[in-house]
Structure 1
Amino acid sequence: MRLSDFIVQNADRIVDEWERFAATLTPAAQTLSSADLRDHAKAILLAAARDMNTAQTRAEQIAKAQGEELGTTPSLDQAAASHGELRHIVGFDLVQMTSEFRHLRATVIRFWTESLTSPQGAHFTDMVRFNEAIDEALAESTAVYAERVNRSRDIFLAILGHDLRAPLQAIGMSSEILMRRASISEADRAFIQRIKSSGRHMSTMVSDLLEFVRTRLGATLPIERQPMEMTTACRDAIDAASAGHPDCDPVFTIWGNTQGEWDRARIDQMLQNLIGNALQHGAATHRISVTLIGGENHVSLSVHNDGEPIAEEAIGSIFDPLVRSLNAQAGTRNPSTSLGLGLFIVKEVVNAHGGSITVTSNFGDGTTFTVVLPKKA
């Protein structure tokens, strides 16, 4: 009997074996009913049988074996995707879910070969087609399962970041009140200033984390354009950076008209991350320069630092999230105080404003990030 016919005739028997195996995948399986354990097993089997009866050229077989989506079966993919999603919901881990497909494959082949009296050439073709169908179902289930895991993690991070804001605000307000007391000693004032500075760093990290999660969940950064002066925003960002680095003496150069319409809060995020990145990864002297040039329709902002250049192989991923080390050999005295999201947030802010950002880095010239933003939408 051809394998596809065998699967259709013995689907219930095969699914019974699936259920028995799934019941051993504890602890998640302990609370599941028979219907939950069987889940989409029969639908996957029958869809695999239909796929095996579909004509396939040699070229299509090779393409499918190489993982291309040519000739995929919608009903098989849908059943497998639903299975992956539900297994995540009920608490199966990825290894347990994939082991179900391994056991299903082994069960079908064992039952079928036991029923054969004399193997024929067509039977080998059946085995190949069946393995293709199961691999397709496994790939689809795994992809959907991984997607659900990532989304659950992102939602958790969003909740965590949101809940951390309240205690950080309490730290900031309490340290500000203590700083205003006249009777405080200079030593205590230094400690409070350190608490305030650390709270500010943590607040920046939480903000970056929330923006990262927002983009991961499919939302672009919202912006509200209002008339503003980019020069003022740059001065404020430089002053804030200098407060945290007393030995920092940035050079700020301005040319032209720098008035435009941007989202001030987002621009502040961009500037703080760019300048903070230059201070952290630049030379130990903390010498940085900020250049702002206003044109007729655009402003150009450049942030430059000396020191070891960014490794050439890292340039392509410099704006990717969670990339922390720009250069393992960078001459910096500052340990990393970020999550590796700073430049990712910078690029998101630039994109939200319809601008562009580039980076150049080499020995002798140092590293320069250049942002070009249109003055209006």
Structure 2
Amino acid sequence: MRLADFILQEMEAILASWEAFATTLGPASADMGSVELREEAEQMLLAVAADLRTPQTREAQRKKSLNQGPTPVGTSESAARTHGFLRARAGFTVNQLAAEYRALRASVLRLWMEQCALEVPDLDDMIRFNEAIDQALAESVTSFNLQVEQNRNLLLGMLGHDMRSPLQAIQMTSTYLAALNAGENVSKAAGRLIRSGARMQALLNDLTAFNRTKLGLGINVSPSQVNLADVVAEELDELRAIHPDRQIELQVTGDLQGVWDSLRLQQLLGNLVINAIKYGAQETPVRVMVTGDETHVRIDVRNNCSAAIEPTTLARIFGPLERGQDRQTQDEKAASLGLGLYIASEIAKAHHGAIETRSGETETTFSVSLPRAKQ
């Protein structure tokens, strides 16, 4: 049997073998289901089969061996490139990615040889199959490396974005301290300095931990029993010190005890409030409402606006490197990477929660729903 026919006939057996091997590539594969583990594999095999069935000259074969071959026949976009991107997003290493292709190559050829037990396998088919797998691997690695680089850039952007607010608090509070006599007010201001410094250290610790582990877009959290009312009040006090010209209101209702990472939730809330300050009507307050029910706590951040956010903008508002049209100066825009809402969304996901936004003609609301404990 020709190899292309064998691949199409035994597709399910090949995919099952691929999936069985992929599950061993922990810890990245631990939380992946069957569909995710097989993602793009079938399309790659279909492309390989189509390539095997396409006549190829010796010159075309030579170019392919030099990585100058065309995109596999039958694909508008390389499944291998998509596979590399998805594996990087899932936290695989490049060695694990290469191991998948090595296992796929061995599995297909072994099963084919068993099928051809009574006849001589077509050597040209074997050569062309190896070339196709090598090309797919090269495309996957290229895509994988591009995604890893983007992850690294996003991390640095997140670090720079989130250090700015604590640093501003330190600077402003230090100025305030210099103008005060010793007393209760000095103690409160010093407390702000200590808390802001702790947040800066936490961010740096995250960077160190990230560099020691696999690159990825997820945010690590360290949950503990906290009262969200205290967490929110402390963050809003700091934001009021940073933005003394803006009014920030707080309304708390219900039981706000739960298991969360308090520093991360302060980071989430800070990003939402700063976004509301930047894009909301300057003469109106930013309103923060925190409500607790039996299983969840909900945080709403509202600001008045002169017009609704466009549906196309809403659809991508939590994406990285997105910025809306606001009244910032050019210098302020240059200092903003558009990561605030993206980071807030990732923190909500890390707590098994969700974040959404609604925008009307006069008001925009960002709502965060957090379960009280890990689901």
Please tell me the TM-score bracket, short chain as reference: 0.5 to 0.7
- Measured in 1, the distance between the counterparts of 2:286 and 2:308 equals 14
- Give the letter for the 1:238 counterpart: L
- Measured in 2, the distance between the counterparts of 1:167 and 1:278 equals 17
- Give the letter for the 2:319 counterpart: D
- Give the letter for the 2:291 counterpart: I
How far residue 358 of structure 1 moved from its aligned partner, in angstroms, is 1.3
Query: Structure 1 stretch 143-152 or stretch 255-264: which is displaced more?
Result: 143-152
Matches within 5 A, 1:325-340: 325-326=323-324, 328=325, 330=326, 335-336=332-333, 337-340=335-338
Give the 3 Å change call, closer, same or farther, for CA 359–259 of structure 1 in structure 2: same
Give the 3 Å change call, closer, same or farther, for CA 293–263 of structure 1 in structure 2: same
How far residue 359 of structure 1 moved from its aligned partner, in angstroms, is 0.7
Alignment partner, residue 85 of structure 2: none
- Give the letter for the 2:142 counterpart: Y
SS at match of 1:372: strand
Alignment partner, residue 241 of structure 1: 239
Aligned counterpart for 2:220 among listed residues 201, 222, 227: 222
Matches within 5 A, 1:144-155: 144-152=141-149, 154-155=151-152
Structure 2: gaps spanning 5 or more residues: 1-53, 81-93, 99-127, 182-192
How far residue 157 of structure 1 moved from its aligned partner, in angstroms, is 6.9
Alignment partner, residue 33 of structure 1: none
- Give the letter for the 2:237 counterpart: D
Alignment partner, residue 308 of structure 2: 309
Alignment partner, residue 277 of structure 1: 275
Q: Is the 8 A contact 2:278 2:327 kept in 1?
A: no
- Give the letter for the 1:151 counterpart: V
Give the 3 Å change call, closer, same or farther, for CA 225–288 of structure 1 in structure 2: same
Give the 3 Å change call, closer, same or farther, for CA 338–168 of structure 1 in structure 2: closer
- Measured in 1, the distance between the counterparts of 2:78 and 2:295 equals 46
Q: Decide which structure has the larger Cα Rg and report it.
A: 1
SS at match of 2:355: strand
Alignment partner, residue 349 of structure 2: 351
Alignment partner, residue 41 of structure 1: 65
Alignment partner, residue 366 of structure 2: 369
- Give the letter for the 1:305 counterpart: N
How far residue 246 of structure 1 moved from its aligned partner, in angstroms, is 1.4
Give the 3 Å change call, closer, same or farther, for CA 172–282 of structure 1 in structure 2: closer
Matches within 5 A, 1:3-22: 4=56, 6=58, 14=62
How far residue 223 of structure 1 moved from its aligned partner, in angstroms, is 1.6
How far residue 313 of structure 1 moved from its aligned partner, in angstroms, is 0.9
How far residue 167 of structure 1 moved from its aligned partner, in angstroms, is 12
- Give the letter for the 1:253 counterpart: Q
Query: Structure 1 stretch 332-341 or stretch 342-351: which is displaced more?
Result: 332-341
Alignment partner, residue 188 of structure 1: none
Q: Is the 8 A contact 2:151 2:217 kept in 1?
A: no
Give the 3 Å change call, closer, same or farther, for CA 182–159 of structure 1 in structure 2: closer
Q: Is the 8 A contact 1:237 1:271 kept in 2?
A: yes
- Measured in 1, the distance between the counterparts of 2:286 and 2:274 equals 10
How far residue 151 of structure 1 moved from its aligned partner, in angstroms, is 2.3
Aligned counterpart for 1:260 among listed residues 253, 258, 276: 258
How far residue 309 of structure 1 moved from its aligned partner, in angstroms, is 2.4
- Measured in 2, the distance between the counterparts of 1:268 and 1:165 equals 11
How far residue 339 of structure 1 moved from its aligned partner, in angstroms, is 1.4
SS at match of 2:142: helix
Note the aligned Cα RMSD (angstroms).
5.1
Give the 3 Å change call, closer, same or farther, for CA 256–6 of structure 1 in structure 2: closer
How far residue 249 of structure 1 moved from its aligned partner, in angstroms, is 1.5
**Deviations, residues 218-263 of structure 1 (Å, cap 9, x unaligned):** 2632222211111111112221221122121222111111111111
- Give the letter for the 1:281 counterpart: Y
- Give the letter for the 1:232 counterpart: D
- Measured in 2, the distance between the counterparts of 1:234 and 1:166 equals 18
SS at match of 1:64: coil
Structure 1: gaps spanning 5 or more residues: 19-39, 49-60, 71-80, 86-129, 185-195
- Give the letter for the 2:344 counterpart: V
Alignment partner, residue 51 of structure 2: none
Number of aligned residue pairs: 255
How far residue 284 of structure 1 moved from its aligned partner, in angstroms, is 2.0
Alignment partner, residue 320 of structure 1: 319
Q: Is the 8 A contact 1:229 1:259 kept in 2?
A: yes
SS at match of 2:237: helix
Alignment partner, residue 231 of structure 1: 229
Alignment partner, residue 184 of structure 2: none
- Give the letter for the 1:316 counterpart: A
Give the 3 Å change call, closer, same or farther, for CA 353–169 of structure 1 in structure 2: closer
Matches within 5 A, 1:2-81: 4=56, 6=58, 14=62, 41=65, 64=74, 66-67=76-77
- Measured in 2, the distance between the counterparts of 1:360 and 1:168 equals 26
- Give the letter for the 1:64 counterpart: G
TM-score normalised over the length of structure 1? 0.53
Q: Aligned residues: percent identity?
A: 23
SS at match of 2:74: helix
- Measured in 1, the distance between the counterparts of 2:164 and 2:250 equals 35
- Give the letter for the 1:321 counterpart: P
How far residue 161 of structure 1 moved from its aligned partner, in angstroms, is 8.1
- Measured in 2, the distance between the counterparts of 1:168 and 1:244 equals 8
- Give the letter for the 2:65 counterpart: A
- Measured in 1, the distance between the counterparts of 2:168 and 2:268 equals 24
- Give the letter for the 2:312 counterpart: E
